[in-house]
Structure 1
Amino acid sequence: MPFVRGLEINGFRGIKHSEGSIPLKKFNVIVGRNNSGKSSFLRALLLFPDPILQASSYSDLFLTHGSVWEGMVYRYRGKCVLKYATDLGELTFTLEYFGANTTAGAKAEFSFGGVERQEINLSPPQQTVFLKPLTYSTYEDRKYLKRLFKEMDPQQAALSHTLYVAEPSESLLLNSWPELELRNFHVEIAREVSKCVSDSFTELSIRMNEVVLRKMSDGVPFYVRFSDQGKGVQFLVYSMALIKLNSPTLVLWDDFGSYMNPSLVKQILEYLAKSSFQVVLTTHSIDVILELVEVEPEDSQLLQFEKDGRDVLHHRTLCLDEIKDLLDSNQDPRKLATAVGI
């Protein structure tokens, strides 16, 4: 069951507004031209349900245009409103940015269904780390949000854990190594990697403070540096480690399929499809679409995005059967959004 059922955007990044709420299923693949709003849509989902928890996850979002707040708001000034449709009701995130030199500064607030609104006051941004400009207690704000959602539904004590797959990080693997090894993830990940590469790895390991993959060559163990692997394999190892360590509710992956052979694309799609979390991917790769119809994830769709000259985000949804029909008629779903003028 999808966790976020829809998202309506007003005044976020390069999007003036979306044409209504954009529906989401459990497994979603988004296509569209460059600058059509795909990445901005993922970044809006990344803010769900609270944009104040992890500085490392959000710093690039808020610093995109050289300022903590203005890069989030359409045309760098004004009001941004994001409305998330969930099974528990509608969550609204509002951010107003008036400029760093004004007395008003910036302010953000959350509202959820009929629950009393919680406002978080923000000082004018002075530093480059997202959490720093927040006044008073970020920890208290976080506790409030978790308590708010817990009161709404005891089954949703930790309402959402959104995971954004970014560039592979060897340091994250090193820092997380004790837990990876304790829970046997270092072996599970190596087995998954071996299914789609020419090597047969037995485990991830640490040697000389580097992450390595262990393989057997003529009965003798050999250790291949993680940093020497191709980008596709690095993404597979890194994403699986992130997912296994964090047990997310929602996984976001921008530009999925880059650096990947079709067999690797299929391997990762199969892994994501059999998991319980919700998935939202963006891609420019036809291989991703071809493998999507082969894997046939449950409750899946293709979203075609197109942003018009007024910066309004339009969308169209296609089910797997419709995608297959297009491919059978030699039509490229990546180009169709532009062709039909949605």
Structure 2
Amino acid sequence: MVHKKTKKISKPLLKNLSIKNFRCFENFHLKDLKRVNIFVGDNNSGKSSVLEAVGMLYPRLEDHFRILEARGVGLVFNYLKAYRRITSFHYVILNFFSFFFKKNTENSIEIFSEFYEAKKNVNLQISLSSKIEKFNEEDEILEPQNPHEKNIKPESLVFDYKFNNSKTVQRLGCSSLGTYDSVLKDFNQYNIIFLADQTPTQREIIDKWSKLKELANLKESNEIDERYLKILQNFEKDLKKIELIGTYFFAFLKDDFTVFLEDMGNGFKKFFDILLTIDLASKKNLPTLLCIDEIDNGLYFDKQDVFWEQLLKLCAEKNIQLFATTHSYDCLKSIVRVFENHYKTDKKIDEELGVFRLVKIKNEVRVSPYNFSFLKVLAESSTEIR
């Protein structure tokens, strides 16, 4: 008898996380993280800030700018590079102050991460320097263009990364006079994706779809169409075909008429966008930390199980570790159903799923992990678990 080899599912990436002087966290610790990690709690308890701290572990300033954008502040990094004005760099540094605990920039932000593979460990320190740092040899200091720019004081926002418990510091950052370095070249330890609590635009989805198709040959392209159609039919059973009309419109053939993506619900768009994001990330063949804020926003309660079944499958297949926040009671009940159906035993579920409740008491954020047995009792009794 020939036995089929089963694909070995690798361990999740991040094991423990310590956060100091970041957002609402003065000194915060998360232990024993799993493949799927769900954060619950009241408004302003720090759930989104946990995801942002994880996002900071990837050494690329452009990603950090996107986190600022999701909060409604900051500038697009490409704009900053293109226009190179002292005022813009100064504005960016001021906006980064919101990352510091109580906006006190005298105390450095420290994010310490312990991975299941020790060689991936990352220590990050974010600090404000009162001088102009030169981040690479090509750096040029900008000249003031007006009296206001002449009065802007010299300072630099510095991101110091240490990998694999090394004492060697690798530095990124930007200064108020335009010096900067935005990415550590050839970094290939892992990938991190941060998806904010925003409905993706049609343009964003078209761009991701087009990129996915560009990376595929004809056979693979047809397989992508078939695979996505099959998955999306769980949301809209009458879909017959996926169509990109020119470069501006995304549509679906439904029997004898066409439905445009713009007319689909926010939950459908969010689900589609998450699938595309995961697919594109997997092309790099790197393990991925996927952070999704308010993961179930826009999803109807009767689609939650389909959503979690697909996400659970993709996390295992693509070596993804998920970090997500939710306020939804329906979402947690769906997680209980899907995990129980998939893994059968509570012990196995506790190896794969972590649910963490964050509570803010005065200025301190505390965390309470829930094992699956307790989560199940709460869900079955309809007890409030925010």
TM tier relative to shorter chain:
0.7 to 0.9
Is 1:187 aligned to residue 218 of structure 2? no
Q: Determine the structure 1 residue equivalent to 2:377.
A: 325
Q: Determine the structure 1 residue equivalent to 2:262.
A: 227
Matches within 5 A, 1:1-342: 1-18=11-28, 20-52=29-61, 54=63, 57-60=66-69, 64=73, 67-76=94-103, 77-78=105-106, 79-89=108-118, 90-97=121-128, 102-120=153-171, 122-125=173-176, 135=180, 137-138=181-182, 141-143=184-186, 146=187, 158-166=188-196, 167=198, 168-181=200-213, 182=216, 183=221, 184-197=223-236, 199-208=237-246, 209-216=248-255, 220=256, 222-247=257-282, 249-275=288-314, 276=316, 277-296=320-339, 298=349, 299-310=352-363, 312-334=364-386
- Quote the Cα distance in structure 1 between the aligned partners of 2:210 and 2:172: 38
Structure 1 residue 138: Cα displacement: 3.6
Inter-CA distance 256–173: structure 2 relative to 1 (3 Å threshold) = closer
Contact 2:110 / 2:124 at 8 angstroms: preserved in 1?
Answer: yes
Where 1:271 maps in the other structure, the secondary structure is helix
- Quote the Cα distance in structure 1 between the aligned partners of 2:175 and 2:304: 43
- Quote the Cα distance in structure 1 between the aligned partners of 2:358 and 2:58: 23
Contact 2:209 / 2:276 at 8 angstroms: preserved in 1?
Answer: no
Q: Percent identity?
A: 17
Where 1:142 maps in the other structure, the secondary structure is coil
Where 2:308 maps in the other structure, the secondary structure is helix
TM-score by length of 2: 0.72
Inter-CA distance 92–61: structure 2 relative to 1 (3 Å threshold) = farther
Where 1:256 maps in the other structure, the secondary structure is coil
TM-score by length of 1: 0.81
Structure 1 residue 106: Cα displacement: 2.3
- Quote the Cα distance in structure 1 between the aligned partners of 2:234 and 2:173: 49
Gaps of 5+ in 2: 1-10, 75-90, 132-151, 343-348
Give the partner amino acid of 1:97: L
Inter-CA distance 99–272: structure 2 relative to 1 (3 Å threshold) = farther
Structure ID, larger Rg: 2
Gaps of 5+ in 1: 127-132, 147-157, 335-342
Structure 1 residue 328: Cα displacement: 3.2
Inter-CA distance 159–319: structure 2 relative to 1 (3 Å threshold) = same
Structure 1 residue 316: Cα displacement: 0.9
Structure 1 residue 319: Cα displacement: 1.9
Structure 1 residue 53: Cα displacement: 5.3
